[in-house]
């Protein structure tokens, strides 16, 4: 159980990082218009 919880937490962090990076690139694209 602890290992799956840690894995879920890592996957959640990866998702958050990907979303924030996408937000940053979208914002940069909007600013460059």
pLDDT reported for residue 3: 82
pLDDT reported for residue 2: 66
Domain boundaries, the chain: 1-33
Place of tokens 């937000």: 23
Angstrom distance (rounded) from CA 31 to CA 29: 5
Q: What is the pTM of this model?
A: 0.62
Angstrom distance (rounded) from CA 3 to CA 19: 24
pLDDT reported for residue 1: 58
pLDDT reported for residue 28: 96
Tens digit of each residue's pLDDT (9 = 90 or more) over 1-33: 568 888 889 988 999 999 999 999 999 999 998
* Per-residue DSSP letter, 33: -
Q: What is the 3-state secondary structure (H, E, C) of the chain?
A: CHHHHHHHHHHHHHHHHHHHHHHHHHHHHHHHC
């Amino acid at each position: 159980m602890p290992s799956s919880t840690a894995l879920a937490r890592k996957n959640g962090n990866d998702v958050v990082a990907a979303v924030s990076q996408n937000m940053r690139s979208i914002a940069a694209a909007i600013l460059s218009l």
